[in-house]
Chain A
Amino acid sequence: MSRTDQTPPQAVADGGRAPGSLLSRVQADRSVTRMVVLVVVAFAFFAVLNPRVFLSSINLQNIAISSPEIGVLALAMMLAMLTGGIDLSLVSIANLSAITISTLFTAVGENDPALAQSLAPLFVLAGIGVGLLGGLVNGFLVSRVGITPILATLGTMQAFNGLAVVWTGGTVLYGSPDSLTSLGQTAIAGVPVLFVVLLVTAAVVAVVVNRTPIGRKVQLQGANPVAARYSGIDSRQVLMRTYLISGALGGLAGVLFLSRNPTASADYGASYVLLVIVIAVLGGTNPNGGFATVTGVVLATLTLQIVASGFTAIRLSSYQYAIAQGAILIAVMVIDQVRWRRRPPRRRAGTSQASTPA
Chain B
Amino acid sequence: MSGGLARFRGRNNEGVLAVVLLLLVVGMSVANPAFFSLSTGFSILRGSIVPLVFALGVLLVIISGGIDVSFAAIAVFAAYTTVKVAGSTALPLGVLGAFGLALVIGALLGLVNGLVIARFRLPTLIVTLGTQGIFKGVLLTYVGARFIADLPDSMAGLSTTNLLTIGSGQGRAQLHVLVLPAIALAVLLAWMLRRTMFGRSIYAIGGDQEAARRAGIRVMRTQVWVFALVGMMAAAGGMFHMIMGRSANPQDLVGGELDIIAAVVLGGASIFGGRGSVLGTVLGVLLVQVINNSLILVGVPSAWQRTAVGVLLIVGVGVQALAARRSARKVHANVIDQQEVAA
Q: Is B311 an interface residue (CB 8 A)?
A: yes
Q: Residue A166 at the B interface, CB < 8 A?
A: yes
How far is the CB of A41 from the nearest CB of chain B, in Å? 19
**Least Cβ–Cβ distance between A327 and chain B, in angstroms:** 6
Among the 9-residue stretches B187-195, B208-216, B221-229, B258-266, the one with 4 or more Cβ atoms under 8 Å from chain A is B258-266
**Does A158 sit at the interface, judged by CB under 8 A?**
yes
**Which residues of the other chain, A, contact B121 by a CB distance below 8 angstroms?**
337, 357
> In the bound complex, do residue A333 and residue B127 qualify as a contact, i.e. CB atoms below 8 Å apart?
yes
Does the CB pair A159–B137 fall under 8 Å? no
**Mask for A313-330, Cβ within 8 A of B = 1, else 0?**
000010111111111011
Q: In the complex the two chains form, is A162's CB within 8 Å of B307's CB?
A: yes
Contacts of A88 in B (CB 8 A): 258
Q: Which of A146, A150, A155 is close to B310, meaning CB atoms less than 8 Å apart?
A: A155
Q: Is the CB of A162 within 8 A of B310?
A: yes
> Which candidate, B4-12, B30-38, B317-325, is the interface stretch facing chain A?
B317-325
User: What separation, in Å, do the CA atoms of A188 and B14 have in the docked complex?
Assistant: 61
Q: Is the CB of A322 within 8 A of B116?
A: no
Residue of A145, A156, A287, A358 near B322 (CB, 8 A) is: A145
Chain A contacts with B in 246-286, Cβ cutoff 8 A: 270, 274, 277-278, 281
The residue in chain A whose Cβ has the minimal distance to the Cβ of B313 is: A155
Give chain B's interface secondary structure class.
helix
Residue A141 contacts which of B122, B305, B314, B324 (CB distance < 8 angstroms)? B314
- Contact between B313 and A154 (Cβ–Cβ < 8 Å)? yes
Query: Is B46's CB within 8 Å of the partner chain A?
Result: no
By the criterion CB–CB under 8 Å, are A156 and B314 in contact?
Answer: yes
Assess whether A73 is interfacial by the CB under 8 Å rule.
Answer: no
Instruction: Give the distance in Å from the alpha carbon of A324 to the alpha carbon of B141 in the complex.
Output: 12
The reply on B19 being an interface residue by CB < 8 A is: no
Interface residues on A, range: 35 or more
Q: At the interface, yes or no: B27 with Cβ under 8 Å from chain A?
A: no
Tell me if A306 is interfacial: C-beta within 8 Å of chain B: no
Is B138 among interface residues, defined by CB-CB distance under 8 A? yes
Bound together, the chains give a CA A150 to CA B308 distance in angstroms of 18
Contact A147–B141 (Cβ < 8 Å): no
CB-CB nearest in chain B for A277: B129
B134 interface contact, C-beta 8 A: yes
Q: Are A320's CB and B129's CB within 8 A?
A: no
Query: Does A173 touch B at the CB level, under 8 Å?
Result: no
Query: Which residues in window 75-119 of A have CB below 8 A to B?
Result: 86, 88
Bits for B114-138, please: 1 = Cβ < 8 Å to A, else 0.
0010001111011101111110111
> 1/0 contact trace for B286-315 toward A, CB 8 Å?
000000000000000101111111110110
Taken together as a complex, chains A and B put the C-alpha atoms of A168 and B148 apart, in Å, by 32
- The reply to whether B309 and A274 form a contact with Cβ atoms under 8 Å apart is no
> How near does chain B come to A297, taking the closest CB pair, in angstroms?
15
Judged by a CB distance under 8 angstroms, whether A157 is at the interface is yes
Is B140's CB within 8 Å of the partner chain A?
Answer: yes
Residues of A near B181 (CB, < 8 A) are: none
Q: With CB as the reference atom, state the residue of chain A lying closest to B141.
A: A319
Taking A147-B318, A166-B303 as contacts, is the C-beta distance between A154 and B129 under 8 angstroms? no
A170 partner residues in chain B, CB cutoff 8 A: 303
Alpha-carbon distance between A274 and B137 when the two chains are bound, in angstroms: 14
Contact of A333 among B120, B134, B259 (CB under 8 A): B120
A169 in the interface (beta carbon within 8 A): yes
Of all chain A residues, the one with the shortest Cβ separation from B321 is A146
B122, B133, B141 interface centre (most CB from chain A within 10 Å): B133
A358 to B133, Cβ gap below 8 A?
A: no
Known: A141-B318, A146-B321. A329 touches B306 (CB 8 A): no
CA distance A321 to B133 in the complex (A): 9
Is B145 in contact with chain A by the CB < 8 A criterion? yes
With most chain A CB atoms within 10 A of its CB, the pick from B301, B306, B308 is B306
Q: Which A residues are CB-close (under 8 A) to B307?
A: 158-159, 161-163, 165-166
Judge whether B157 is part of the interface by a CB distance below 8 angstroms: no
Q: Say yes or no: is A354 at the interface (Cβ < 8 Å to chain B).
A: no
Q: Is the CB of B138 within 8 A of A323?
A: yes
- Can you list 18 A-B contacts (CB < 8 A)? A86-B125, A141-B318, A146-B322, A155-B313, A158-B309, A159-B310, A162-B303, A162-B307, A277-B126, A277-B129, A324-B137, A325-B130, A326-B132, A333-B122, A333-B127, A337-B120, A337-B121, A358-B123
Q: Which 6 pairs between the two chains have the least Cβ-Cβ distance?
A: A162-B307, A158-B310, A326-B133, A159-B310, A162-B306, A323-B137
